[in-house]
Structure 1
Amino acid sequence: MLPPFWTTAEDDVEDPIGRRRRIILTLVIGGIIGFLMAGVWGPGSTLGREMRGDALLGEKVHGHLRGNAGFRSLQVVEIDREGIREAGLGPDQGHWEAGTLTVTFLGHLLADAVSRGEVRADDTLATHLPELAGSPVGDLTLTEVATQRAGLPRQLPGESARSIPAALFGIDPYAGTTPEKLLTEARELSLENPGVYAHSQVGAALLGEALTRAARQPDWPTLARVRLFEPLGMRETTIATSRDLIPADAVPGHRPNGHRVRASASSGAAPAGCCTWTTAADLGRYAQALLSGQVPGASALEPVADGTAPSRVGYFWLVSPGPKEQTLTWHFGGTAGSSSFLALDRDAGRAVIVLSNTSQPVDRLGAGLIADDKPPAATPNPMDLLSALVLVAVVVWTVRRVLAATRRSQLVRAALDFASVVLLTALLADWVTVPGWFHGLALGVGAGALLLGLRRGRELPWATGHPKADRVQVIISAAVLMVVLVLIVV
């Protein structure tokens, strides 16, 4: 007996009820196959049970995670008056990206430079970067920049323009940002909502360049190494201003959907944290120095301005009330393929560090650990929900196109278009709120529809009426699929 999708059109005419059953059965079989495939192929990262270091801390981390979707590997450090504990979860270990935690280094270097008399807190950027004289950016004070209340944009225009191609093609949006280009583009910037807290990588990069010049150091990495890393014994922390400086054991970054992300390297954007590589041990030394007050420029921890309510802000550090009548001093970090978090409960002498090699934020996990309380559930990711709706719509659209097709070229186009959308959503969506198996289920149902198309196509002509137009449409659909395949491979 032939499988149901190999029966003939005459069979459908003679048995319309059986036709509907065959269609439903084929779609169900395809859905089951897709669901099973998703266990192996479905997009998304999941933190496994592999564990190193302190087992109790590792189990505590697992207990605090409300689901582990979006994570591949984590490195966690917990410090209190009894000592320091460290646990690694997942398969990856080595040097981790610190991301925008780097700006806290910058805040301490500013406070240290003030204490040395190299700069004044109310100096303008133009005082130390004369290239900015006469521009709105040049009139900003160092304190305005360090408290993120300067009204500067998050990124330079060139970096923003490269952000979408970077996400699609895996290129580095900061590769072309040199100190010279930073200053040239900054001169043309206008300010929006000055006095309102808003994180700006541009401001951090400019402040880093200003402090470097004030200290008469050759570059920002040298300033950070001489003034902060070496005094604290952070010998494994490095700033990769070029790709050859990325550590050999650098933990590879990923998006939450499991797609590998290319690490950044830049001289101009380095103070903002695009390319800082460190270890849990080094950040543990940093946190201990912060708690003991032995860190250079310790006054950077003290709040001097309002942040986003109810937080206040020091030199880049955020100071917020905790859930158990605590006062938490903290900062997050992130790159295209990593996330990080460092929080201090200075009164209790406690600190928590979380490092991850996906861009799924770890601040909720870190906040739960420092408060020794379950973190709140994450809010739904709107892009995930949108991707799920798109997939449902595309599956329905594909089924309708298959059933309504009057020529084989339409079936070929339906198959190509379906493959393009499925692969593109696998690449771009995070697949955290909506699990990866949903993607596999959609793949299976769509594949079932295409099996129906394979059956119907045996009895349909290739084209009718306008064969050249049909060929062109098929070529366009095939070209789109090839582009998506290239994106997946890259």
Structure 2
Amino acid sequence: MLAASLVVALALGLLVGPERQHVSTARSGDRALAERVERALGGATGGWRSLAVAEVTPDTVTWAGLGNAGAGRGTGVAPLDTTPYELGSITKTFTGSLLAQAIERGEARAEDPLASHLPELRGTPAGGVTLASLAQHSSGLPPIGATAAGSGFVASWGNEGPYASTSTAQLLRDAAAAPVDTQQPPTYSNLGFSLLGTALARAAGAPDYATLLRDRVTGPLGMADTGLAATPADIPADAAPGFHVNGLPAPRWDGEGYLPSGTATFTTLADLARWAQSQLGDGPGVAAQRPTAEMDGSGIGWAWVTTDLPAADGRPARELLWHNGGTGGFRTMLALDRAAGRGVIVLGNTTQSVDALGVALLEDRPAPVRTDPILLGVSWFVVGVAALLSLSALAAARRFRSGVHVVGSLAAAAFGLLLAWHSGPWFAVGAGSGGCCSRRRWQRPCSRRRPGAPGRCCPRGGPGSPSRGWW
């Protein structure tokens, strides 16, 4: 009977349990570029599910798709250059371009206080910060507003998006109540960038940020498949699904208020290549690229980050112009070497960072791929706590025969199982072992219970500099 139970548990784990993600053998596009991606990863494809990659020059685009861009398990179908992905904070480079264009058109100045374009903020600390400080993450505002912060924990455990409840009107109310710390070091702020985009729309006389973006960036460049999801109805039906690195589906993000910061932008490899080509040349708002401040050892302009790459392995020292992005189930990277006239785009549909891969492809070298030891240690600690809870519950259920004790023990065991399911190291091990271990912990005489409560693990991947994520 025990053997049969273990077989059933293993089957359930394989079918519906957490699954370590990896890039399958499905391929599309340029085979040589796909092979370069494989060499850069050195066979370490764990944590990713699909990768859409493009190499860009001012005149050419070469692209490749690797892995499963669909919802099912197995090999699946590789992404195309027309497959929509969630873009994340690379959208901030669009907003930076809009600021540069507004300055060129005389609609705004870098030193304008925010309240000069958003009168709702007059007399508040946020109303006094400048447009430049918002674009440089130096305004002193917090990373997100109170509404999004309040829903973040619940959204995380409920596998929901944290920004849907923030409309533009609510964003302004949150900003009016937000503190501004003038002594705060540069702090990445989605709240700040969302206010910047809203102010630029007002300055241009546009009805909203989405219209301004379409009129001045995506429309002129022919980026017809790039759009913003203010509501779930705006999400492309054929968009690649996002996943946590443990294989559980990630929530879609939508919501109006934070659109200028990139919380709900959908684009394709072909569209983003048009943007990259424009930024290698004299496209819209290229003045946004010029560094005007410092942040974390790099220069920052209007969103764009400039990092000096040292000479190494025969490669000369040069400047890397970049921005990355991330949402609930996606990671993205855009890296440009303007001096060489080259750029690389990487789109991935899990929460595994793609930053190092993008830079490695631009430099023609292997990518330093490693599992975060702190994340791995915390995840195994969670499993240890879950196992202790379950074993304690089993011992109590055998020791005490009353219904109250049995119910309480089962509740403790269920909590332990849910904890392990939600935050265990399933990005590093397979689902079958998780299902097997779960069933063994629950096995006891006369029990007909079955585990199976879904959860998730959402590690925050690393960034353009190995220790920081710019989302």
TM-score, with normalisation over the residues of structure 2? 0.84
Aligned position for 1:188: 177
Aligned position for 1:10: none
Which residue of the other structure, out of 301, 306, 319, is the alignment partner of 2:289?
A: 301
Q: By how many angstroms is 1:168 displaced? A: 1.8
Q: By how many angstroms is 1:107 displaced? A: 0.4
Which residue of the other structure, out of 293, 304, 309, is the alignment partner of 1:322?
A: 309
Query: CA, structure 1 residues 430+250, in 2 after alignment: closer, same or farther (shift >3 Å)?
Result: farther
Q: By how many angstroms is 1:178 displaced? A: 1.6
Q: By how many angstroms is 1:276 displaced? A: 0.9
Residues 125 and 137 in structure 1, CA contact (< 8 A), matched pair in contact too: yes
Identity of aligned residues (%): 34
Q: 2: CA distance between counterparts of 1:411 and 1:395?
A: 18
Match runs of 1:55-454 below 5 Å: 55-65=31-41, 67-80=44-57, 83-92=60-69, 93=79, 94-192=83-181, 194=183, 196-293=185-282, 295-309=283-297, 311-324=298-311, 325-378=317-370, 380=372, 382-395=374-387, 398-399=390-391, 402=394, 405-407=398-400, 417-429=412-424, 431-432=426-427, 435-437=428-430, 440-441=432-433, 443-445=435-437, 447-448=439-440, 450-451=442-443, 453-454=444-445
Tell me whether 230-239 or 365-374 shows the greater mean CA deviation. 365-374
Q: 1: CA distance between counterparts of 2:174 and 2:393?
A: 50
SS at 1:436 equivalent: coil
Query: CA, structure 1 residues 443+379, in 2 after alignment: closer, same or farther (shift >3 Å)?
Result: closer
Residues 132 and 186 in structure 1, CA contact (< 8 A), matched pair in contact too: yes
SS at 1:170 equivalent: coil
Deviations 1:90-148 (A, max 9, x none): 22142111111111000011001101111111111011111111111111111111111
Query: CA, structure 1 residues 232+380, in 2 after alignment: closer, same or farther (shift >3 Å)?
Result: same
Aligned position for 2:460: none
Match runs of 1:24-63 below 5 Å: 41-63=17-39
Aligned position for 1:18: none
Match runs of 1:464-479 below 5 Å: none
Aligned position for 2:465: none
Residues 30 and 445 in structure 1, CA contact (< 8 A), matched pair in contact too: no
TM-score, with normalisation over the residues of structure 1? 0.81
Corresponding letter in the other structure for 1:321: D
Q: 2: CA distance between counterparts of 1:55 and 1:109?
A: 36
Tell me whether 259-268 or 344-353 shows the greater mean CA deviation. 259-268
Q: 1: CA distance between counterparts of 2:124 and 2:90?
A: 29
Corresponding letter in the other structure for 2:266: W
Q: By how many angstroms is 1:387 displaced? A: 2.5
Residues 38 and 436 in structure 1, CA contact (< 8 A), matched pair in contact too: no
Q: Which runs of 5+ in 1 are unaligned?
A: 6-25, 458-477
Residues 239 and 275 in structure 1, CA contact (< 8 A), matched pair in contact too: yes
Q: 2: CA distance between counterparts of 1:246 and 1:306?
A: 35
Residues 421 and 455 in structure 2, CA contact (< 8 A), matched pair in contact too: no
Q: By how many angstroms is 1:397 displaced? A: 5.3
Q: By how many angstroms is 1:34 displaced? A: 6.9
Give 1 or 2 for the bigger CA radius of gyration.
1
Tell me whether 388-397 or 157-166 shows the greater mean CA deviation. 388-397
Tell me whether 265-274 or 382-391 shows the greater mean CA deviation. 382-391
Q: 2: CA distance between counterparts of 1:418 and 1:317?
A: 49
Residues 20 and 247 in structure 2, CA contact (< 8 A), matched pair in contact too: yes
Residues 42 and 436 in structure 1, CA contact (< 8 A), matched pair in contact too: no
Q: 1: CA distance between counterparts of 2:5 and 2:382?
A: 19
Tell me whether 102-111 or 410-419 shows the greater mean CA deviation. 410-419
SS at 1:87 equivalent: strand
Aligned position for 2:314: none
Name the count of aligned residue pairs.
434
Query: CA, structure 1 residues 134+314, in 2 after alignment: closer, same or farther (shift >3 Å)?
Result: same
**What is the RMSD computed on CA atoms of the aligned residues?**
2.9
Q: 2: CA distance between counterparts of 1:356 and 1:170?
A: 19
Query: CA, structure 1 residues 414+387, in 2 after alignment: closer, same or farther (shift >3 Å)?
Result: farther
Aligned position for 1:463: none
Q: 2: CA distance between counterparts of 1:239 and 1:446?
A: 41
Q: By how many angstroms is 1:174 displaced? A: 1.5
Q: Which runs of 5+ in 2 are unaligned?
A: 70-78, 312-316, 457-471
Considering fraction of residues, name the structure with more helix: 1
Deviations 1:442-478 (A, max 9, x none): 6534534554x328x9xxxxxxxxxxxxxxxxxxxx9
Residues 413 and 442 in structure 2, CA contact (< 8 A), matched pair in contact too: no
Q: 2: CA distance between counterparts of 1:449 and 1:277?
A: 42
Tell me whether 333-342 or 390-399 shows the greater mean CA deviation. 390-399
Q: 2: CA distance between counterparts of 1:276 and 1:386?
A: 32
Residues 34 and 441 in structure 1, CA contact (< 8 A), matched pair in contact too: no
Deviations 1:380-399 (A, max 9, x none): 25344223123234335544
Residues 234 and 282 in structure 1, CA contact (< 8 A), matched pair in contact too: yes
Q: By how many angstroms is 1:264 displaced? A: 2.1
Q: 1: CA distance between counterparts of 2:210 and 2:235?
A: 13
Q: 2: CA distance between counterparts of 1:429 and 1:394?
A: 9
Tell me whether 33-42 or 104-113 shows the greater mean CA deviation. 33-42
